[in-house]
Structure 1
Amino acid sequence: MHKKLSFIVLLLMFFGCQDPKNGSLEEPFSNFMGYGEYSVGFKSLFLSDLSREHVPYADWSGKLYPENGTSKGRKLPIHIWYPASEKSKLLPYRHFVNLITKQTQEEFNKESDSLASKIFAYQISELKGDSSFAQDQLDTLLALKTNASLNTLPVQQKFPLILFPNGTSPAIQSVMCEYLASHGYIVAAIALKGQFSHVVDTSTKGLEVAVDDLEFALQQLLELPNIDETQIALLANAIQSSFCVGLASRNKKIKALISLEGGFLSQFEQNILNSTSFYEPQNIAIPILAIYAPHPSISPHHIYHLKYSDRYFAHFPKMSEFHFLNYGLFEEYVPNIIGEPKGNTKKGFKAASELSLSFLNAMLKGKTKKFDQFYTKEIPKEYEITIDTVFKMAGIVPPPNMAILKNVFISDGIDAIESIYQSQIMEGNPTPFSMTFYNDFKNWLAWKKDPEYTNRLRLYKMAVKSYPNSALNNYRLAFYLDKNNADKASHSYYLKASQLLDKDSTLTQSQVADLKNAIVQALQ
């Protein structure tokens, strides 16, 4: 009996002392994360948008890879982590890596995994800036146990949906996806693509194409029975954060957004967003958590203008952009995997995950206690090493949308529009309506609703009050004053518009030239 007990003790000691780096334990390598009450299931949906053409696979350099057979439609696989009702064998990390190049179920079943591993290693080398990532290091990562099991039965209830896009889905954001799923969220990853190949385009056109991909993914996901379609949030890193903002600006189903050290906080990506039709402050009225790290192009002030959104900022001084993805945890297994870190990326990753969870719980589930600890008091002591700055910018109530304002006008006339404008001014909002609103509402009034030009005159008095340095607004006010025989006032505003032309950065060169000609003719 004594020998038997000794043998059992030795076995327990043996298995309990295994090095987690060798991936041999049946617990996930990320077990320190503080997973929630649910086991995590994982499944892949290999879908195609048949309304759009297929695009070939390409790596970051732009190199295209040959494909076998023909493909119909734009392949958009969606990878899903979800609360599971049963436990099963944990997937190796290799499973997620193998999926990064697979676009169909047939490819996943039949094709070699060598290309996926090659692409994964190539991306690590690109991020680090050298080719030192070795085969044995790759093998170490591929063998790690994840916290997800394949195709297990889901918990039979509805959960909020988190959409987490990344070009290397599902391999690079898997740990945070597992973490959120274990706490009662369905998390979906999609690799957004460019117009002509697998790699996204960092341009206005690229953003529009990516938003189309996100819309397709969201439509497909909302067909699933366990998703609460009233509670949807977006989470993204790098330029994907701006793609998500593009979706949020035109889809009111989105209830919250997390920018995980996203380029959304850069002037470059703000320029891309500003060149689209939908990106205006009144279209972004959802709460935003902006997690950011030291970077010369990233600053909170780039989204200060989103005045209708409650914006929560958290600065992680010892982290960098891609350490908020799985690379932050891989640092323990492959030191300096994407370059020398500034601090403890494992702790930084965990803190960012916990802050993100507390934000989502507050915004989608009404559980505010943990999140309030960050933004109503001092930074909790356990996070002082990883977070040095948090602050909130409260949003204001947005004005009614265009459809409501049109209905108000039909019912009560321009007086009611002016009343809404004045009420917003009184609440401290100097620009209640956007420049786009004035242009679109003007065009709408022109169709049999303002034969005497009086409504448009009153409309542009509001426009000039809010945007006094707009040459176009001053010109239009002058034009409508002229139509109402206010010659002296009209002349004054034409002159002001002329003076502002060369200073108005919102106008293109052709617009400036057209306005100059129009003003000259008006003053003759």
Structure 2
Amino acid sequence: MIRFTIAFIFLSTICFAQTSLKEIQLENGSYTVGFKHFIVNDSSRTYTRASDWNGKAVYRPISVSIWYPGTIDPRVRMASTSVLDYMRILKEEEEWEHLPDEQILNWFYYSNSPDNQRHLSERSAAYRNLTPVGETFPVIVYSASYQASSIENFLLCEYLASHGYIVISAPSLGTNTKPLEGGTVKDMETQARDAEFLIKEALKNKQADANNIALMGFSFGGMSNSLVKMRNGMIKAIVSLDGSERYQYATLSKSPYFNPDRINVPYIHLSQKEIPKDIMEEQKLDPRLNTEFLLYDTLKNSKAYKLKLHHMTHAYFSTLGVLFNERDKRQDKSDEEIMGSYRLMSRYALTFLNAYLKNDSKGLAFLSKHPESNDIESGLVSKEVKNPIVKSFRFEDFNNIAKSRQYNGLDELSEQLVKQYPGFKLSEGSLNNLGLQLLFNKETSDNGIKVFLFATTLYPKSANLFDSLAEGYLYVGNKALAISNFKKSLSLDPSNQNAINRLKELE
């Protein structure tokens, strides 16, 4: 009989869990949750299945799980996904797809206790292969813990999807075979590449907002996600569920892509409670693990949150851990406290994502408050926050703000920014370039006109800007205003040959 071990610390001296999906009590949102699972081959890498004793190489198979807002057809009777359905995905990803269902608990990570058997018949909130809701939603790429399944945190993934997110996940898979090497730089790079592969896969979905992508990872997946952000400028936020960037910072720093300054987006690290001293000594762990969060401490360009959940042990940051994991009598809290902490973790993750991917003011207010001010029981969580060290304010930063408000009120925005950043100046050339780029995209032409109108108030003697504004009006079909602004440009620069030629054509 094969029995795998969980590839992390802090587990021994056991008792069995008493939990259920219903008792975890996550408050799902208004969307019905759809779920899809399929395998995509990554032809850029080759792979050998453990069961192929001939060592035949195949294109690397990536098992993909997606949760999304869906619609139930009332004419079709459907049953939601059961825990057993999810566990069948686990055995497929472990390359034991033909294993009898009754062997799942014995064969892999979890004890075949009566309580664990009861979990298999529980039903979740997700329905297989629903029709997607006809809207666009932010994308969350979830990276699993060390050598874990794409469905390890299915309850959290369902919860986020019910609140209007697309969540996509893959298993933590070795580079050339199922097993990883032991948490090496190569393992981290492989999982980071898998997360990047998932971004591409998610964007095939019409529901996906390509400009609103966040990363979420548990344990080793959290560290791998840090690496993804260090080389991907499209990521808008990071959620680390007791990520190994805390425990294996030395491994992260060995990557050729390592650069903490590239993490310039909101970051939240939700960590486990303090590890008891006797366990630290027994397992020869560095006591600084209880106090140091090296990546968080290093961040300079990110709004960063660090929360410690005082009733939470590392294993319970995943759904499968809460339901099936054997409890450690030396340090684990009661099942009720563990479920409450998982619920609190999920609430903070959702609130953070709402705040930074959906510009939710209530979410930002929640994050800014002391936990007790949010009606969270005293002693459950401690929080630290730090703001980015702003070295300068760039034209790109101005454009990001202006774009978010559809380029309205640029005069007021400019005044505010000059007061806040005295050294900041909007150059004539940058405004002209931005206006032209917006203008010649038919979907943003009106915004290009807004930029030129603002620019000509900032530089009222610029013949070039009035010439561009005139071209803008001509492009959108307003001949009268085109003529007026070509004349204004010509009055400022009588040698402007473009204005002379255009006026001849138009008059």
Give the TM interval when normalised to the shorter protein.
0.5 to 0.7
Deviations 1:492-523 (A, max 9, x none): xxxxxxxxxxxxxxxxxxxxxxxxxxxxxxxx
Residues in 2 aligned to 1:229 and 1:338: alpha-carbon distance in whole angstroms? 45
* Aligned residue number for residue 87 of structure 2: 97
The percent identity for this pair of structures is 23
The answer on 1:170 being equivalent to 2:156 is no
Report if the CA contact (8 A) 1:375-1:390 is conserved. Answer: no
2:72 corresponds to which of 86, 90, 97: 86
Report if the CA contact (8 A) 1:159-1:184 is conserved. Answer: yes
The answer on 1:203 being equivalent to 2:184 is yes
* Aligned residue number for residue 49 of structure 2: 56
- TM-score (normalizing by structure 2): 0.64
Deviations 1:130-172 (A, max 9, x none): xxx2353442121111111111111111111111121432332
2:353 corresponds to which of 357, 360, 380: 360
Report if the CA contact (8 A) 1:192-1:214 is conserved. Answer: no
Q: How does 1:92-241 map to 2 (within 5 A)?
A: 92-102=82-92, 111-114=98-101, 117-118=104-105, 122-124=108-110, 133-166=111-144, 167-201=147-181, 202-241=183-222
> Partner letter of residue 196 of structure 2?
E
Report if the CA contact (8 A) 1:38-1:181 is conserved. Answer: yes
* Cα distance change, pair 323–84 in 1 and its aligned pair in 2 (3 A): same
Residues in 1 aligned to 2:361 and 2:322: alpha-carbon distance in whole angstroms? 28
CA RMSD, Structure 1 to Structure 2 (Å): 3.3
Residues in 1 aligned to 2:24 and 2:134: alpha-carbon distance in whole angstroms? 25
Q: How does 1:491-502 map to 2 (within 5 A)?
A: none
Deviations 1:180-234 (A, max 9, x none): 0000000111113222322333111221122222222211221111100111111
Residues in 2 aligned to 1:168 and 1:325: alpha-carbon distance in whole angstroms? 10
- TM-score (normalizing by structure 1): 0.62
> Partner letter of residue 101 of structure 1?
K
Secondary structure in structure 2 of the residue aligned to 1:179: helix
Secondary structure in structure 1 of the residue aligned to 2:108: helix
Residues in 2 aligned to 1:341 and 1:229: alpha-carbon distance in whole angstroms? 40
* Aligned residue number for residue 362 of structure 2: 369
* Aligned residue number for residue 63 of structure 2: 77
Residues in 2 aligned to 1:68 and 1:150: alpha-carbon distance in whole angstroms? 35
Structure possessing the higher relative contact order (Cα contacts under 8 Å, 6 or more residues apart): 2
Q: How does 1:244-393 map to 2 (within 5 A)?
A: 244-266=225-247, 269-293=248-272, 294-295=274-275, 296=287, 297-302=289-294, 303-327=296-320, 329-330=322-323, 336=327, 341-343=332-334, 344-377=337-370, 379-380=372-373, 382-385=375-378, 387-393=380-386
Secondary structure in structure 1 of the residue aligned to 2:44: coil
* Aligned residue number for residue 409 of structure 2: none
> Partner letter of residue 354 of structure 2?
N
Shift of the alpha carbon at 1:22?
Answer: 11
Residues in 2 aligned to 1:159 and 1:398: alpha-carbon distance in whole angstroms? 32
Residues in 1 aligned to 2:135 and 2:82: alpha-carbon distance in whole angstroms? 27
* Cα distance change, pair 150–251 in 1 and its aligned pair in 2 (3 A): same
> Partner letter of residue 291 of structure 1?
L
Report if the CA contact (8 A) 1:200-1:210 is conserved. Answer: no
Secondary structure in structure 2 of the residue aligned to 1:249: helix
Report if the CA contact (8 A) 2:371-2:382 is conserved. Answer: no
Report if the CA contact (8 A) 2:47-2:57 is conserved. Answer: yes
Shift of the alpha carbon at 1:71?
Answer: 6.3
Secondary structure in structure 1 of the residue aligned to 2:255: coil
> Partner letter of residue 264 of structure 1?
E
Structure 2, gaps ≥5 residues long: 1-17, 276-286, 395-420, 425-507
**Number of residue equivalences:** 359
* Cα distance change, pair 34–340 in 1 and its aligned pair in 2 (3 A): same
Secondary structure in structure 2 of the residue aligned to 1:354: helix
Secondary structure in structure 1 of the residue aligned to 2:30: coil
Structure 1, gaps ≥5 residues long: 1-20, 58-64, 125-132, 402-423, 428-524
